[in-house]
A and B are shown apart, each in its own frame.
Chain A
């Protein structure tokens, strides 16, 4: 009986320890041994998904070529375009483990400190945003998925340039929620939502999702909208970790700001 109580209390202590995102301990999923076991298990299943992965990469390739063609058509040379964007570097990684059916989901990827991954870097897939790196070990990193009750991402409605915050509604891995939409804003099903320029974790204009339906607020102040995520979290395989080369500079600037 005493042992039972001791063990239960220990479990509750563990739980509260890992609840807090900022105090997350290394002992949480990001563990090289756990990562290696997942990776071995996945390598068996990978062969069955090769077709799909190939198709996705080919699609992404085609899209990039289209974009490149579009930029070279104008007076700019593509070198200029790339130079303007070099504050972001993309580190390719593979998803080793991923959940979508818990209230707080994490994704384990096979790149870690040794590959230049740091905490708070953004993670995207070829179709849209995925999450933010929350913990790093030598060769693996765990990513706080967009499907996490603490994740909010600053987004923009592409047509109207209205800013808002995107979060998960914690039940279905397909849909998220955008709060605080001014009532004058007319939204239509299928309107595109992209990342805003206010985030220094994600580059601007990355696909976040599309509007499914507008939910009018009962008090008539700020509406909500149900959003279909651009990323299919249930079949995530190849992702890119975004390294913002000037992030250290921004961080120090923000630190020097007088606290309000």
Chain B
């Protein structure tokens, strides 16, 4: 399938899944798993920087519209998109990407993906909860939220990626 079409489809499916399903998960009121980050995580590695930033900003803004938090998610995903190239460099070390178009579990291996996901989610959650914390003067609470939410988000994202990419060839979703 056409790559950009695949990404658009992924965008829509992830936003709907995030807003209608994952947002209803509230274990004790402190856990905020965000699976829509998968969209930014799986964008092509060689995508020009400005496209990466706009994509991140775009999905954050759409999520914001649904959650009524205009700017917060957009800010966090933009930060995440900005950090993505450095994160990829950081987690891969000497690994080369000559024939890898976009990050996927099959070619890069599961350990690589775990590290990648943890870094991405940490950057996103940190930015997001800091925005929330600063605007409501509840920084201590924001830190607690980060500590609890990061592992849950990482687990959910890895689970979804694993479920959808364990088949022979990558299909529609991831």
Point out the residues of chain A lying under 8 angstroms from B53, CB to CB: 3-4, 7
With A3-B50, A7-B74, A11-B74 known as contacts, the answer to whether A101 contacts B26 (CB < 8 A) is: yes
Task: Judge whether B75 is part of the interface by a CB distance below 8 angstroms.
Answer: yes
User: Is the beta-carbon distance between A14 and B29 smaller than 8 angstroms?
Assistant: no
CB–CB B74/A234 < 8 A: no
* Residue of A with least CB distance to B30: A101
Most buried by A among B57, B65, B70: B70
Decide if B138 is an interface residue (CB 8 Å cutoff). Answer: yes
| Per-residue B-contact encoding for A164-192, CB less than 8 Å = 1, 0 else | 00000011110000000000000000000
Residue of B nearest to A13 (CB): B71
Chain B residues contacting A149 (CB-CB under 8 Å) are 136
Selected interface stretch from A26-34, A70-78, A201-209: A26-34
Contacts of B79 in A (CB 8 A): 8
Question: Does B23 touch A at the CB level, under 8 Å?
Answer: yes
**B94 contacts partner chain A, Cβ-Cβ < 8 Å:** no
Which stretch, A15-23, A49-57, A87-95, A236-244, touches the partner chain B? A15-23
A102 touches B30 (CB 8 A): no
Nearest A-chain residue to B71, judged by Cβ? A14
User: Is A103 within 8 A of B136, CB to CB?
Assistant: yes
User: B166 at interface (Cβ–Cβ under 8 A)?
Assistant: no
CA distance A234 to B24 in the complex (A): 9
Contact of A15 with B135 at beta-carbon distance under 8 Å, contacts A29-B68, A234-B26 already known: yes
A13 to B135 Cα, complex, angstroms: 12
Assuming A101-B32, A170-B138, is B75 touching A106 (CB within 8 A)? no
Enumerate chain A residues within 8 angstroms of B29, measured Cβ to Cβ: 100-101, 171-173
Hey, which chain A residues are within 8 Å of B8, CB to CB? none
Interface flags, B131-171, vs A, CB<8A=1, else 0? 11001101001000000000000000000000000000000
- Bound Cα distance A103, B135 (Å): 10
CB pairs A–B below 8 angstroms (18 shown): A3-B50, A11-B71, A11-B78, A12-B71, A12-B75, A14-B64, A14-B74, A15-B70, A17-B70, A17-B71, A18-B69, A19-B135, A31-B65, A37-B20, A99-B67, A103-B136, A172-B28, A173-B29
Give 8 nearest A-B pairs by CB, closest first.
A14-B71, A29-B68, A11-B75, A15-B71, A41-B20, A11-B71, A101-B29, A103-B136
